[in-house]
Structure 1
Amino acid sequence: MPHRSSTLNRRLVRYAFATLFAALSTQAAWAASFDCGQAKQPDERAICASRQLSEMDVEMAVRYDTLTGLVAMGTRGDMQDEQRAWLHERAACRGDRRCLRASYTKRIDTLKREYDQLKSRGPF
Structure 2
Amino acid sequence: MFRNALPLAVLALLIVMTAGAPARAASFDCAKAETLDEKAICADRRLNDDDVEMSVLYTQLKPLLGMGARGDLEDEQVAWLKRRAACKDDRVCLSNAYEDRLRQLRGGFEALARRGPF
Q: TM-score, normalised by structure 2?
A: 0.79
What is aligned with 2:77? 83
Give the residue type in structure 2 aligned to 1:101. Answer: S
Q: Does structure 1 residue 116 correspond to structure 2 residue 110? A: yes
What is aligned with 2:25? 32
Regions of 4+ moved over 4 Å: none
What is aligned with 2:52? 58
Pairwise CA distance, 1:62: 0.5
More helix as a share of residues: 1
Give the residue type in structure 1 aligned to 2:37. Answer: D
Stretches of structure 1 that go unaligned for 5 or more consecutive residues are 1-19
Number of residue pairs the alignment of both structures matches: 100
Deviates more, 1:111-120 or 1:53-62: 111-120
Provide the rounded CA distance (Å) in 2 between the counterparts of 1:71 and 1:120: 14
Q: Does structure 1 residue 107 correspond to structure 2 residue 111? A: no
Stretches of structure 2 that go unaligned for 5 or more consecutive residues are 1-15
Which structure has the higher relative contact order (CA within 8 Å, separation 6+)? Answer: 2
What is aligned with 1:3? none
What is aligned with 1:17? none
Identity of aligned residues (%): 50
RMSD of Structure 2 on Structure 1 (CA): 1.3
Find the partner of 1:73 among 44, 67, 86: 67
Q: TM-score, normalised by structure 1?
A: 0.76
